[in-house]
Structure 1
Amino acid sequence: MERLRAAWPPYSHLILGALLWALQMLVSAMLGLYLRNGLETSRLAEVAALYFLGGLLAWPFALPTGRFLAYGKPPEARFAAFFVTLIAATIAMTAFLFAMEYRIFYSRWHAPFGSGIWVFQFIFTSISAFYQFLVIGMRLFLPLGLGCLVVSSYYLAKRLR
């Protein structure tokens, strides 16, 4: 029970941390786009929103989970707990948002909502989008996102005692 209580951070850490993490992911994506094609894309605002929201929505899942896993552990284990939870939550949330956008685009050609074929189409369209994000979208987290991940994980591991 003590571990569960210790896992829940103050609301200020959730809100401020989410905003800072989202900003880091946005800057990472923009730097990645700049290095690859000089920010020349017709969907710059959408890409920026996707990575910002992915980071914003991932933090409230990653922070308590990382704190739960890191509770009572040595610094190296705390670092690993935050590293894994931050990377997993950020990738999963950003990929989920990408998949939902992908699904909205393709929904006009899908069967009526709730039908058996619709469920099949929804599942496989989402899986395809998730895979496409892993192959194409993950590159925008590099090189800056990896540095942000290491620094943030180190900071969180040092802060949690």
Structure 2
Amino acid sequence: MDGPSPDRPKTDRPRMDRLRAARPPYPDLIAGALFWGTQMLASAMLGLYLRNGLQTSRLAEVAVLYFAGGLFAWPFALPVARFFAYDRPPEARFAAFFVTLTAATIAMTAFLFAMEYRLFYSRWHAPFGSFVWAFQFVFTSISAVYQFLVIGLRLFLPLGLVCLVVSSYHLAKRMR
């Protein structure tokens, strides 16, 4: 039997169509990054407010961290999500945006936290490029990511989850 069968899903499209569809328009990329960063900032501030009334000596640093995490995650998440969502049913598009936005935002915010953590501890580390430095860099970063996952991840809740669902729904609906 030649050609695609009628009961086969529409996943036989050429790869180039999928790659072209994955490339978002620049205004969506830039405005979306700013908006997503602002949402993550609001989420972190609400999380801090609900937990301790914003009583922290590092409020500005936390605000910048969560804003930057959302801002820098968006340009990575959007093309990947669009790639996976291309020519899929609405539920699959929603899932693609939901999973990639979640993973990219957590990963980018954890990475930025780890680099800040590393910067703080670098004064006690071995000289750059040495074997000991590499060992210290890797394990300091791993412990910082772990600390972020345990302590910092909860600042995305409850507002971050709402923002994630609404944004994923909006993006899935827009991409047909």
TM-score interval, normalised by the smaller of the two chains = over 0.9
Measured after TM superposition, the shift of residue 149 of structure 1 is 0.3
> Residue type of the partner of 1:34?
Y
1:15-26 equivalence runs, <5 A: 15-26=30-41
1:1-161 equivalence runs, <5 A: 1-161=16-176
> Residue type of the partner of 1:80?
A
Distance in 2 separating the partners of 1:157 and 1:5: 17
Measured after TM superposition, the shift of residue 123 of structure 1 is 0.3
Distance in 2 separating the partners of 1:107 and 1:31: 32
Question: Which structure 2 segments of 5+ residues have no match?
Answer: 1-15
Measured after TM superposition, the shift of residue 106 of structure 1 is 0.4
> Residue type of the partner of 2:42?
V
**TM-score normalised by L of structure 2:** 0.91
SS at match of 2:88: coil
**TM-score normalised by L of structure 1:** 1.00
Larger radius of gyration: 2
> Residue type of the partner of 2:126?
A
SS at match of 2:55: coil
Distance in 2 separating the partners of 1:150 and 1:10: 22
Measured after TM superposition, the shift of residue 70 of structure 1 is 0.3
Measured after TM superposition, the shift of residue 56 of structure 1 is 0.1
Distance in 2 separating the partners of 1:111 and 1:105: 14
Measured after TM superposition, the shift of residue 29 of structure 1 is 0.2
Measured after TM superposition, the shift of residue 111 of structure 1 is 0.5
Residues matched between the structures, number: 161
Distance in 2 separating the partners of 1:77 and 1:6: 15
Measured after TM superposition, the shift of residue 26 of structure 1 is 0.2
> Residue type of the partner of 2:25?
P
Distance in 2 separating the partners of 1:5 and 1:143: 35
Question: Which structure 1 segments of 5+ residues have no match?
Answer: none
